[in-house]
């Protein structure tokens, strides 16, 4: 069903949801995979003036081909500026960027992220990559969007290790640290879109993706997840967006699955 | 004409990298010197502390080979390609030996290099604050990072990290002259700050050019020759990574490494074939062509996308 753009996968739904979070003219630091597709989808549609920045030091990139990794050689030709980590992450550290995309092995009730270990730090059951630029982006970008695989063990009440602080223990705790960044504004998971209560900073379900139920989201979350009183289905992607994703941004199906 | 520093990888590594040294590896995914990394492994260097903001499979290979005791970094992984199994085996099970990692953020390692390159003892940061990287420390203990009240009155605490000045650093770039003046374009990664913070620097490069050619475009020079102790001519020296303008990343080869290194036996077989089994980079390139064909080799070659030149006249 290659040309049926009214059908879509959950991954495509997530890429479209990521694109919707971007406002035109924003300076955005992009990772790989779905955030990357979401950001370039936004740039091709409602946010042509978005400034795409990579931690590898590519600033305002307009790649001819969708890059595979954050340090891809296709990012370089056509960029407004090319430097290194000092340039790419220096602007993040200085608080100049509007939005950063993050991911992780675990996220908790208050949006704290873990990309270090499962189990004890000194004798880990599973050791992951570490922070990379994640903590820098969380501290420096005005807001962050977290893209997550929604499973119970990935959404525990408390993460095993705080790599990138979200709202710490909730309430006004984050504000006492004096970061440029205000914390995560949304979690786009494989099951829905979650946001944070402006007072308690606790995560709640705003919408569930088409084909998913509220019960399913609750079952796959490691605490008693609060549900918005106005919870609804996530707005379905316009077929034109699915066409751009499949035909223009990922024609070989590297990110969205082989055709 | 100053003395030429051109030598083989074998000479450079044996002369300038000693057991127990703190070694900076330059680059960020792009333009990593596998030529020098593999020579370190072949020479069985021991007890190294390796430093880089983000490490990939080159660190994994040194870890698996037992060259590494300590890592100063924010990241050891193969990005979207997948996990690195020697790193995980070492961290989770102590195979082949227990190693330690001093966990920072990508920018924090850059900041440590920046301080090191400027000759200042420490530098304040926004990153790391409130994270468990402040609560868990490896061998640096209290000296990993310090939380200090801003003496200039912002009212906030800041994280201070110490300068990082490795004994030696090595990196790969497009071209250098015989004195070591090195020019790099595309993704600089941790350059130039990492190499400027090192006491001595070894460069491997795709091309050796004249001093006169370097002087025609001095803004492109990333490390001045006086820092450099050895210049190693290693075409294809960053494979399986890319070197802008020369060749692209070899995704198939990276996936192959991840697949085969998933077991200890598979890793050993890979290393016997691609590292221990070749004498140098020339043999490696020849082996690559024999194994995968000239077409694959040429497919990796970069297209021409030339920049316009600028007028340096006065």
- Which neighbouring-strand residues pair with B168? B23, B200
The pLDDT value recorded for residue B163 is: 98
Q: How far apart are CA B276 and CA A78, in angstroms?
A: 40
A254, part of any domain: no
Residue A133 in contact with partner chain B when CB distance is under 8 A: yes
Candidates A71, A93, A165; nearest CB to B187? A71
Catalytic residue among A26, A55, A215, A240: A55
pLDDT in tens, B191-241: 999 999 999 999 999 999 999 999 999 999 999 999 999 999 999 999 999
pLDDT in tens, B33-47: 999 999 999 999 999
Averaged pLDDT for residues A159-168: 98
Contact B102, B76 (CB under 8 A): no
Averaged pLDDT for residues B277-300: 97
Longest dimension (CA), chain B: 65
Other beta carbons within 10 angstroms of residue B88's beta carbon come to 21
Select from B130, B158, B174, B239 the residue whose CB has the most chain A CBs within 10 Å, as the one to mutate to test that interface.
B130
Locate tokens 């090195």: which residue?
A: B182
Cβ-Cβ pairs closer than 8 A, A with B, add up to 168
Q: For chain A, state the CA radius of gyration.
A: 18
Residue A113 in contact with partner chain B when CB distance is under 8 A: no
**Does position A258 have pLDDT exceeding 70, yes or no?**
no
Contact A185, A196 (CB under 8 A): yes
- Element holding A41 (H helix, E strand): helix A34-44
Model confidence at A1, in pLDDT bands (50, 70, 90)?
A: very low
Q: How far apart are CA B182 and CA B122, in angstroms?
A: 27
Peptide bond into B192 cis (omega under 30): yes
Q: How far apart are CA A55 and CA A133, in angstroms?
A: 7
Among A23-37, A134-148, B8-22, B137-151, which stretch is predicted with the lowest mean pLDDT? A23-37
Averaged pLDDT for residues B69-86: 95
Contact B217, B183 (CB under 8 A): yes
The pLDDT value recorded for residue A235 is: 97
Q: Is the pTM of this model over 0.95?
A: yes
CB contact under 8 A, A68 and B114: no
Candidates B106, B110, B248; nearest CB to A132? B106
- E strand segments, chain A: 27-29, 51-53, 58-59, 81-82, 99-102, 106-107, 113-114, 117-119, 124-127, 143-148, 184-189, 192-196, 203-208, 226-233
Contact A19, A39 (CB under 8 A): yes
Candidates B28, B92, B105; nearest CB to A136? B105
CB contact under 8 A, A132 and B54: yes
A256, part of any domain: no
Other beta carbons within 10 angstroms of residue A34's beta carbon come to 23
pLDDT in tens, A170-220: 999 999 999 999 999 999 999 999 999 999 999 999 999 999 999 999 999
The domains located in chain B, with CATH, are 9-103+165-300 (3.40.1080.10), 122-162 (no CATH)
Residue A240, burial from CB neighbour count under 10 angstroms (0-12, 13-18, 19+): exposed
Helices (H), chain B: 9-16, 34-42, 57-64, 85-93, 106-118, 193-196, 211-216, 251-260, 264-271, 281-300
A173 is catalytic: no
Full residue range of the structural domain in which residue A163 is found? 10-249
Q: Which two tokens stand for residue A141?
A: 């970008």
CATH number at residue A81: 3.40.1080.10
Q: Which two tokens stand for residue B34?
A: 């596998």
Regarding beta strands A192-196 and A184-189, do their DSSP bridges make them parallel or antiparallel, or are they unpaired?
antiparallel
Contact A79, A60 (CB under 8 A): yes
A258, part of any domain: no
A243, part of any domain: yes
Residues B157-193: b if buried by 16+ CB within 10 A, e if exposed: bbbbbbbbbbbbbbbbbbbbbbbbbbbbbbbbbbbbb
The pLDDT value recorded for residue A70 is: 87
- Element holding A90 (H helix, E strand): helix A85-93
Structural domain tally of chain A? 1
A214, part of any domain: yes
Count CA within 13 A, CB hemisphere, residue B257. Answer: 26
A161, part of any domain: yes
A4, part of any domain: no
A2, part of any domain: no
B30 SS3 class? strand
The pLDDT value recorded for residue A255 is: 86
A73 SS3 class? helix
Return the closest-CA partner of residue B64 out of B264, B309, B311, B198.
B264
Query: Percentage of residues in chain A with pLDDT exceeding 90?
Result: 89
């Amino acid at each position: 069903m290659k040309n049926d753009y009214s059908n879509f996968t959950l991954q495509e739904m997530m890429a479209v949801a990521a694109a919707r979070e971007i406002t035109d003219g924003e300076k955005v630091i992009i990772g790989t995979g779905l955030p990357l597709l979401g950001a370039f989808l936004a740039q091709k549609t409602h946010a042509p003036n978005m400034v795409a920045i990579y931690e590898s030091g590519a600033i305002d990139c307009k790649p001819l081909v969708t890059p595979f990794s954050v340090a891809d050689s296709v990012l370089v030709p056509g960029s407004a500026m090319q430097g290194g980590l000092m340039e790419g992450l220096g602007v993040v550290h200085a608080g100049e960027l509007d939005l950063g995309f993050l991911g992780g092995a675990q996220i908790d009730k208050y949006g704290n992220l873990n990309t270090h270990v499962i189990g004890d730090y000194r004798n880990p059951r599973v050791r992951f990559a570490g922070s990379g630029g994640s903590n820098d982006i969380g501290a420096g970008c005005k807001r962050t969007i977290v893209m997550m695989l929604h499973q119970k063990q990935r959404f525990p009440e408390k993460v095993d290790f705080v790599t990138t602080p979200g709202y710490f223990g909730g309430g006004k705790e984050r504000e006492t640290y004096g970061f440029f960044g205000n914390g995560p504004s949304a979690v786009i998971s494989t099951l829905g879109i979650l946001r944070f209560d402006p007072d308690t900073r606790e995560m709640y379900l705003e919408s569930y993706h088409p084909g998913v139920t509220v019960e399913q989201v609750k079952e796959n979350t490691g605490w008693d997840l609060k549900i918005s009183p106005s919870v609804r289905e996530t707005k379905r992607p316009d077929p034109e967006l699915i066409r751009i994703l499949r035909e223009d941004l990922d024609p070989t199906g590297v990110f969205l699955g082989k055709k | 004409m100053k003395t030429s520093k051109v030598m083989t990888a074998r000479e450079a590594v044996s002369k300038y990298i000693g057991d127990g040294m703190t070694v900076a590896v330059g680059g960020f995914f792009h333009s990593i010197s596998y030529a020098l990394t593999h020579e370190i492994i072949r020479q069985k260097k021991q007890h190294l502390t390796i430093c880089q903001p983000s490490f990939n499979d080159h660190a994994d290979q040194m870890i698996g080979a037992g060259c590494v005791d300590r890592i100063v970094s924010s990241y050891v992984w193969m990005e979207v390609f997948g996990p690195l199994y020697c790193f995980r085996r070492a961290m989770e099970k102590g195979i082949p030996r227990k190693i330690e990692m001093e966990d920072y953020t990508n920018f924090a390692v850059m900041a440590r290099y920046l301080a090191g390159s400027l000759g200042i003892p420490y530098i304040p940061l926004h990153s790391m604050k409130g994270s468990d990287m402040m609560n868990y420390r490896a061998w640096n203990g209290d000296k990993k990072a310090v939380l200090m009240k801003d003496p200039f009155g912002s009212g906030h605490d800041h994280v201070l990290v110490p300068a990082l000045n490795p004994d030696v650093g090595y990196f790969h770039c497009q071209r250098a002259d015989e004195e070591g003046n090195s020019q790099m374009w595309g993704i600089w990664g941790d350059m130039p700050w990492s190499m400027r913070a090192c006491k001595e620097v070894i460069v491997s490069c795709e091309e050796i050019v004249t001093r006169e050619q370097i002087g025609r475009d001095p803004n492109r020079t990333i490390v001045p020759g006086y820092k450099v102790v050895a210049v190693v001519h290693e075409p294809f020296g960053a494979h399986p990574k890319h070197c802008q303008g020369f060749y692209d990343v070899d995704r198939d080869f990276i996936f192959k490494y991840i697949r085969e290194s998933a077991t200890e036996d598979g890793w050993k077989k890979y290393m016997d074939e691609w590292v221990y089994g070749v004498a140098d980079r020339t043999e490696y390139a020849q082996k690559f062509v024999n194994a995968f064909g000239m077409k694959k080799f040429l497919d990796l070659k970069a297209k021409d996308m030339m920049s316009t030149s600028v007028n340096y006249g006065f």
